[in-house]
Chain A
Amino acid sequence: NAGVTQTPKFQVLKTGQSMTLQCAQDMNHEYMSWYRQDPGMGLRLIHYSVGAGITDQGEVPNGYNVSRSTTEDFPLRLLSAAPSQTSVYFCASSYAGGMNTEAFFGQGTRLTVV
């Protein structure tokens, strides 16, 4: 049972480059989300999706795009990487986004933008 799988685990980008962080879950969860984790700031929500074809912005969406074409996959795109996007990124999924649903997190992607 894989749970939530993120790739890559580590990535170094140059300023201005674009890339996609992959996230896949095999638990048939409707709700998926992307967080970034910076020292002393906890987990901040970037984008989320309540089901295939539906996405919405979180607390810090600027510079990131998402799409949800299938229930399983929720990729995060960095359009033009900036040093401020250096962070650890976590994808999470849960049965539903509302109450009474625990979130399952992927292993994380450590991104450095130089």
Chain B
Amino acid sequence: GQQVMQIPQYQHVQEGEDFTTYCNSSTTLSNIQWYKQRPGGHPVFLIQLVKSGEVKKQKRLTFQFGEAKKNSSLHITATQTTDVGTYFCAGYNNYGQNFVFGPGTRLSVLP
């Protein structure tokens, strides 16, 4: 079955440093979504990428979908303490009816 991996599992950064998490799928994806979960909270939708090579920006967050549509990345510029949480990618392919979530990257930001 489809597998979605994320690296790193944990990342500790100093406030103001950049952060990147990578998502890799074992199969070609139709689209990919990113979610953020604050500590003790629930996942909240951030963005969806559909096109090969697509890049989308939300303020300090940059999302990229790979050319082969098997990988994606989320980059945060100049992290802030409000960025703390776990970032999940979720991949969807044409063979399934559901998104498959990666294990997440937990980000800690030291003030």
Contact = CB atoms under 8 A, between A and B. Distances in A.
Interface in A38-54: 40-45, 48, 50
B41 to A, nearest CB: 8
Contact of B30 (A43, A48, A99, A106): A99
B101 interface: yes
Nearest to A102: B45
Interface size class of A (residues with CB under 8 A): 20 to 34
Interface in B26-53: 30-31, 33, 35, 41-45, 48, 50
A98 B30 CA distance: 10
A100 B98 contact: no
Interface residues of B, number: 25
Interface string B37-79: 0000111110010100000000000000000000000000000
Most buried by A among B6, B45, B98, B104: B98
A59 B4 CA distance: 13
B43 A99 contact: no
B97 A90 contact: no
A103 interface: yes
A105 interface: yes
